[in-house]
Amino acid sequence: MGFLALPDLEGTTLSGRLMRLPQDLPAHTLVLVMGFTHGARHDVSAWKAALAERGIPFLSLPTAATDLAASDMVEVAGAMRAHVSREAWDQVVQIHRGGEVLRREFGWKVDVFAKVLRVAPGGGVVARHDSGPFTPGAFSAFTG
């Protein structure tokens, strides 16, 4: 993998806070777990559960495959809040701007698999998994 960096993304947490990435990333390395379709939710959930079990910090980024107005995400946010504990609302950032550039730069297709990146505070990609479903082996290789 050549050096890749996170492009500019814009989203809103389930608690309503606007986030711009990579600028608003925390000052430590963390994992971004992205899904581009409703069908990816199971794979995304598997990655999040494994990361949480190991105590690895992450953000969940349900990502629009093409740019949308933030207001277009309101209905989806309401549905997601019903399935996510209030304590985790700041860990879920619905990306409504930049998803298309992200897909193009990383060569991703819209499918039912999570796209997982470990990123440094400035948005530099340290590791990635974007080829197939969650498996214990894929998790071990990613976190290795």
Q: Determine the distance from the C-alpha atom of residue 124 to the mean position of all C-alpha atoms in its chain, rounded to a whole number.
A: 15
- On the CB side of 14, CA atoms within 13 Å amount to 21
Q: What is the mean pLDDT of residues 3-30?
A: 93
* Tens digits of residue pLDDT in 66-75: 887 766 766 6
Burial label, 4 (beta-carbon count in 10 A; 0-12, 13-18, 19+): middle
Q: Three-class SS of residue 19?
A: strand
- pLDDT bin (cut points 50, 70, 90) of residue 84 is confident
Q: pLDDT per residue over 39-81, tens digit each? A: 999 999 999 999 999 999 999 999 988 887 766 766 667 677 7
User: What pTM did the predictor assign?
Assistant: 0.91
The pLDDT value recorded for residue 1 is 46
Give first-to-last CA distance, the chain, whole Å.
16
Q: Which pLDDT score, from 0 to 100, does residue 81 have?
A: 78
Alpha helix (H) residue ranges in 16-97: 41-54, 74-81
* pLDDT confidence tier of residue 3, bands split at 50, 70 and 90: low
Q: How many CA atoms lie within 13 A of 6 on its CB side?
A: 32
Fold of the CATH domain 9-143: Glutaredoxin (3.40.30)
Q: Over the stretch 90-101, which tens digit does the pLDDT of each residue have?
A: 999 999 999 999
- CA angle at 18 for the pair 129 and 91, rounded to the nearest 5°: 45
Domain residue ranges in the chain: 9-143
- Which pLDDT belongs to residue 82? 75
Structure-model confidence comparison of residues 71 and 22, the more confident one: 22
